[in-house]
Amino acid sequence: MARSRWINASAMNVRRAVPETHLFTAVLSQAVHDVFSTHVEKNDKRQAMDFLTQDSWHLRMVCELAGRNPDYVREKIRKRLLSDENWNVDGCRKEYRNTHKGKKRGPKFKSHD
């Protein structure tokens, strides 16, 4: 199995040596899958979304055991959720569909002098 050349060799050895790391990485992966899949039940999707977006002790523990930064995980999920809903992630404003920039809103009113 080929590894990316950008992975830190010491981190790769730690991950290879600890099978629990793979387990908790799979837990995070399953939660992400549940949030973004269309075939997952609404209740399971909501629980996974709450788990990944709230700053909880459980998320911090799972991320630590998986060798991940919980703040990074939460921020990535937040950006993905906002971008899926057509929000401009950097400016946090909604980009509405079917808007035409430069289009006039209505008839121009004449000023009365």
Q: Tens-of-pLDDT digits for all 113 residues of the chain?
A: 444 444 444 555 544 558 889 999 999 999 999 999 999 999 999 999 999 999 999 999 999 999 999 999 999 999 998 887 765 555 554 555 555 555 555 555 555 65
| Token code pair at residue 87 | 């929000």
Closest CA to 94 of 107, 82, 78, 111: 82
pLDDT in the model for residue 111: 57
Give the per-residue pLDDT at 84. Answer: 77
- Give pLDDT, residue 12: 53
Question: Are the C-beta atoms of 66 and 60 separated by less than 8 Å?
Answer: no
